[in-house]
Amino acid sequence: MDPEEAQNTHPPQTPADHEPEAEQPIVIPRPLQIGDLAHPFSQLIPNTFVTYTLVTIIGVIFLVQLGEQSTGPYSFDVQWPSCFDGTRISHDWAGCGAAVIYGQQFYRMFTLMFLHGSTTHIAFNAIALYALGRDMERIYGRGRFLYIYFVGGFMGSLLSLAFRGPSEFTVGASGAIFAIAGMNLAFYYIYRQRLGEMGEQQYQAMLRMVGINLVIGVLLIRVNNYAHIGGLIGGALLGYLFIPWHTVKSLAPEIITADENSLSAKSGLAIAIVCILTALTVAVWALWRFVLSPI
């Protein structure tokens, strides 16, 4: 065979070589209609006033704690004397289980969220509150954010009291901050498909952060992991129950959405949760006071 003819010779093609590639179906999105679920970021709060205020409040209170110390203004580690001293907020606001059980000072389960034991303690909590709180406040709104922050934090205090009883002595906003983390997990888990890769990345990153902090809580003796776990569970549950659910109410002259899960729309549920937690608190108190550790 002539070399030129050999170069122009090709193997015979089979019928399969001539089959056209299957065309991908063209998906035309359906126009937005009244009643549809809007984008989860459709009603973001423009600023994060509440988060900044909370960070400022715990900072100012810590300065007051330092000013109360007998060792002078240069002591940056808060000293913890008796819970029943009654002369300083470091005494009167601390999460002292004995004061709650034998003195019925239930307010401590809230006020402990404003106290901190050292500069390292408040620095970590302030940074975490600033980092996690801003996004959740913008997404959930100020009312829901505050509700989940304090109620979730209280659930952390309640779990700690239930397991530690009179021996409990705890301070710090970490239970409430873990409630924000739980809220974060609930939001990005529910909306992870609608938010695509960004939603999945946020969810996985929050899972890793929570896991690392819980492991640290196991390794360090002075860390109250009961408060962390209680706050995390409470925040995740409340974040799910009150998750923003914006639906389209009007299309003309502009798209108007309304949140069907707002705190005002679910006020009955919010009050019921507070009532249930109140009953659980009384039950835990009575169990320790009259059964497990009577005096």
User: Where in the sequence numbering do the catalytic residues fall?
Assistant: 174, 228
Pairing of strands 246-250, 169-170: unpaired
Check residue 88 and give left, alpha or beta (phi > 0: left; psi -120 to 50: alpha).
beta
d(CA 229, CA 187): 18
Amino acid at 60: V
Residue with tokens 């459709």: 42
d(CA 146, CA 119): 25
Task: Give the angle 112-222-67 at the CA atoms, nearest 5°.
Answer: 50
DSSP string, 69-95: -TT-TT--B-----TT--SSHHHHSSE
